[in-house]
Amino acid sequence: MKKNLTVFDLQLFAADASAGLAGTGTKLEMSVDGTKFDEIGGIKTVPDMGSDPENIDVTDLSDTKKKSVPGIENTSTLAFTFVYKGSNFATALTHNGDNKQYKWKVTYPDGMTASFTGSYTVKMGNVAVNGALEYTISIIVSDGPDFATASSSAGA
Sketch the domain layout of the chain as residue ranges: 26-46+75-151
| The pTM of the whole model exceeds 0.95 | no
Closest CA to 73 of 145, 153, 156, 1: 145
**pLDDT tens for residues 84-135?**
999 999 999 999 999 999 999 999 999 999 999 999 999 999 999 999 999 9
Which residues share a beta bridge with 82? 43, 135
Residue of 126, 42, 121 lying closest to 83 (CA atoms): 42
For 26-46+75-151, CATH number?
Answer: 2.30.110
E strand or H helix that includes residue 93:
helix 87-93
